Amino acid sequence: MESFRKTAEERLARIEQLESEALEADAIRRKLHNQIQELRGNVRVFCRVRPTTSETAIVDCAPDGTSVELKRSDADVAGFEFDRVFGPSSTQCEVFDEVSQLVQSALDGYKVCLFSYGQTGSGKTHTMLGDQHNEETRGIIPRAVAKVVEASEANAKKGWKYRMCASYVEIYNEQVRDLLKAGSGHSDKHSIAHVDGVTEVSGVNKEPVESVEAAAGLVRRAAAARAVEATQMNAVSSRSHTIFMLYITGEHEASGSRLTGCLNLVDLAGSERVGRSGAEGARLKEACAINKSLSCLGDVFQALSNGQKHIPYRNSKLTYLLQPCLGGDGKTLMFVNINPEAPSAEESMCSLKFAAQVNAVELGRGGAKRNIVSGIGKKEDKEDSSSGDKKPDDKKKVGKRPATARTAAGAAKKSKR
Ligand SMILES: Nc1ncnc2c1ncn2[C@@H]1O[C@H](COP(=O)(O)OP(=O)(O)OP(=O)(O)O)[C@@H](O)[C@H]1O
């Protein structure tokens, strides 16, 4: 009897020791994962080029997976490098594989935002939402939610108790609308605040996310409620920014550890220039609001890359809402979506320049700026690219560079990997 008791005590002590070692290993895993993410850069830019419809493509993706070229004529070729470039044949699964590490960061307690930027019809909604009824073509939002739910279930075996809830909002003409509240309209009544480093939007539903199915239902409901209006450029063009906000709290009772992460998945409204979109009346007002908030986003990145003390987060609802992810140890991944057809050449150039500017920002290290040369990202370029409705004299600024030319921003980032 005595030997039984002794063996049981020894086994109990061994279990406790293993549990404590597992917890320590988990903390080391989190730390290493974060170090890898920081080495890759807390602001990353991926470029995704959509397939052509009828026109010939003037955008080429190099086989190295990080370079893209916009060819406006034989003598006018602009090259850009990003952290990753996805060509027209890339699948939703390949794209998600590359972003899933940031989803892990949100589970580890970081403030993460992923957003898609580009002209109307360039594939932003396809990338972020995709076809939710189709396993293969569903986009980042449904995949990310499924990953978070699955990972929290796996972590439960290690003693972690995760609680997740989600809001889904739309910003339209600088007014917020709750996409999870049936029949609710856009209103000024929703105020944005930051509580313990996490964004809270007053008066919007925060619904629990307990299973992959429940989360998928929530995403479907919000997608159906999204405001879509026809424009000349895309028959079902989304004229608002939509933000899926996933709040993640993890608690480990035995160790007393607590994590608070959040994942913001943003589908921005189209960045096309007012002239080309043929906007008038209410549509013109929409286009101006869209351009204002996109330009505020550009201003925030410019202030960060200049290492400015004051970052103008409050200048738009979008930037204020995303503030925790756009500074400090927040993590941002921007998709620049490109339509490779000739009529979109000027919009593509604007989008690529904006993306090159964002690519030069580094968070959590005093916003130190990487050196940018080769014409892309010069002061005058940044002023142009921060506003979607300005038409820069691209030829003059980008110059006619050989097809092999690369921006130093991309090269600098690459050398860090
Ligand atoms: N990579 C892709 N592969 C296949 N189809 C795509 C791809 N990207 C976009 N499409 C298709 O192109 C069309 C326009 O794309 P999408 O609606 O995603 O554009 P958008 O940038 O979100 O436009 P808007 O700003 O007007 O909302 C859709 O029919 C979409 O399915």
pLDDT of residue 126: 94
121 close to ligand 1 (CB < 6 Angstrom): yes
CB proximity list for 271: less than 8 A, separation 6 or greater:
117, 118, 119, 120, 290, 291, 294, 347, 350, 351, 354, 388
The CATH code for residues 41-416 is 3.40.850.10
Q: Which residues pair with 73 in a beta bridge?
A: 76
190, two tokens: 């929703």
Mean pLDDT by 10 residues, the chain (417 residues): 84 78 71 66 89 87 92 90 94 94 88 92 92 89 89 83 91 87 77 88 91 83 67 55 92 85 90 57 63 82 85 92 88 93 90 88 49 29 32 30 35 39
| Residue 50 neighbours by CB distance under 10 Å | 24
319 close to ligand 1 (CB < 6 Angstrom): no
Residue 172 in contact with residue 317, Cβ under 8 Å?
no
User: Which one of 125, 172, 272 would you pick to mutate in the ligand 1 pocket, going by the greatest count of ligand atoms within 8 A of its CB?
Assistant: 125
344 close to ligand 1 (CB < 6 Angstrom): no
Domain ranges in the chain are: 1-40, 41-416
264 close to ligand 1 (CB < 6 Angstrom): no
pLDDT of residue 308: 86
Atom of ligand 1 nearest to the CA of 337: 21
Local structure of 79: helix, strand or coil: strand
CB proximity list for 318: less than 8 A, separation 6 or greater:
171, 241, 243, 266, 268, 293, 296, 297
pLDDT of residue 45: 92
pLDDT of residue 54: 75
Distance from C-alpha of 318 to C-alpha of 374, rounded to nearest angstrom: 31
Ligand 1 centroid, distance to 266 Cα (angstroms): 15
282-333 residue pLDDT tens: 666 666 666 777 888 888 988 887 888 899 999 999 999 999 998 888 889 9
Q: Which residue's CA is the nearest one to ligand 1's atom 12? A: 123
Tell me what ipTM this predicted complex has.
Answer: 0.97
What are the angstrom distances between the C-alpha of 257 and each of 20, 23, 90? 12, 10, 40
Ligand 1 centroid, distance to 239 Cα (angstroms): 14
Ligand 1 centroid, distance to 117 Cα (angstroms): 12
